[in-house]
Structure formats: C-alpha cells, structure tokens
C-alpha cells in the first residue's frame, strides 16, 4: 500500500498543534515563577460602599468608591512577618501596594511567595459607610493567588473588591450563620 502525501491543510493543522503544545509548555514553565528576575510585585484592588437601603440593582451594581480607605498587606516567610505595607484608596477607591520579593532584613535567599500575603481592609474613611464587610475576605483577609498581569517589567495581583456598608445594614455574622445552619437542617 502506498502512502499518500498529506494535504497542505493537514500539514498546517499539525504545525498549529505542535506550536500550541510548545506554547502551553512554555507558559506552564513560566507560571511556576511569575516574578523571576523582578524585585517586586504589586497588589491592587478597590474599596466600595454598598447601601442596602437602595433597591436591589442600586445595591448590587452601583456601589460608590470610598476614597481614603485603608488597606494593609502582611506577608509571611517561614511563619514570621517578612513584610507589612499599607495604602489608602484614591478618589476612585483604588489602592496599590508594592511588595518586594526580597524584603530588607529578611535574610539571604528569602523570596516572598505572593500567596503567603494577606490583604485586608482596615478602615473606611466614609463615616456614613464605615462597617467593614467580609465580602471577598475584606475583613478577615484575602490571599492573592493568580496574577492579573505578567510582563517583563511587572507582576500585578488583583484582589477584592472590598466593601463597607452603612451601620443599619450591618448583620451579625454569628446570628446569620446560626440561622443558615437551622435552615439547612
């Protein structure tokens, strides 16, 4: 039986498959160390006010930025605090904290893993919207786990958004949890 020559279309498909597999292998390798050769990474996010006294659409989709709110980042290395940084949100409610991969005084060879950092909402500058919620771990803390931007010059992790709410919207988490446990049976 004689072998037929493959069609140009089949050759292009095979070449595309080989290229895709090579790219996937390269991306997987690069994904193991996002910050290789870089001195810092950035953690960014937003802080917003949700007003539960509004209708559902306004409450769910029209949260207002809270300028001047405090956000803290604490990074651990071998169970000890290796970095602590904080930032206040700008007029759009956006914060940005630059974290060195190798913090000063942390010892030779110490390289922070962003997933060992904890980002928390610590204060709302809006006195009317001052109750910190735990949405996205705002009050208890959230760990960055996947970069939103990886370039030769920077690595950025997005967290949040974090929310504060009005005092009359505050819910006792323990009572809510107990109610849900009874409801679930």
Q: Structural domain boundaries of the chain?
A: 35-180
Mean pLDDT of the region 93-103: 92
Question: Comparing 55-59, 119-123, 145-149, which segment has the lowest mean pLDDT?
Answer: 55-59
Name residues whose C-beta falls within 8 Å of residue 62's C-beta, 6 or more positions apart in sequence. 54
pLDDT tier for residue 72 given thresholds of 50, 70 and 90 = very high
Given this structure, which CATH class describes domain 35-180? mainly beta
Residue 88 pLDDT greater than 90, yes or no: yes
Per residue, what are the HEC states of the chain?
Answer: CCCCCCCHHHHHHHHHHHHHHHHHHHHHHHHCCCCCCCCEEEEEEEEEEECCCCCHHHHHHCCEECCCCEEEEEEEECCEEEEEEEEECCCCCEEEEEEECCCCCCCCCCCCCHHHEEEEEEECCCCCCCEECCHHHCCCCECCCCCCEECCCCEEEECCCEEEECHHHCCCHHHHHHHHHHHHC
Q: Output 73 or 22, whichever has higher pLDDT.
A: 73
Q: What percent of the chain has pLDDT over 90?
A: 43
pTM for this entry: 0.71
- Which one, of 165, 138, 158, 141, lies nearest residue 60 by Cα? 165
Place of tokens 């679930």: 184
């Amino acid at each position: 039986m004689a072998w037929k020559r493959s069609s140009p279309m089949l050759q292009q498909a095979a070449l595309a498959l080989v290229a895709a597999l090579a790219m996937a292998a390269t991306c997987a390798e690069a994904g193991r160390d996002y910050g290789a050769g870089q001195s810092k990474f950035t953690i960014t996010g937003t802080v917003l006010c949700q007003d539960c006294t509004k209708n559902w659409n306004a409450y769910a989709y029209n949260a207002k930025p809270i300028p001047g709110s405090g956000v803290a980042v604490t990074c651990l290395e071998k169970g000890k605090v290796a970095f602590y940084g904080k930032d206040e949100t700008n007029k759009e409610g956006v914060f940005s904290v630059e974290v060195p991969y190798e913090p000063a005084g942390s010892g030779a060879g110490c390289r922070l893993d962003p997933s060992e950092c904890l980002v928390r909402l610590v204060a709302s500058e809006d006195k009317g919207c001052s109750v910190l919620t735990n949405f996205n771990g705002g009050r208890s803390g959230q760990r960055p786990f996947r970069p939103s931007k990886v370039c030769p010059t920077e690595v950025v992790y997005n967290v949040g958004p974090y929310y504060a709410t009005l005092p009359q919207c505050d819910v006792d988490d323990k009572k809510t949890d107990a109610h849900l446990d009874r409801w679930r049976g």
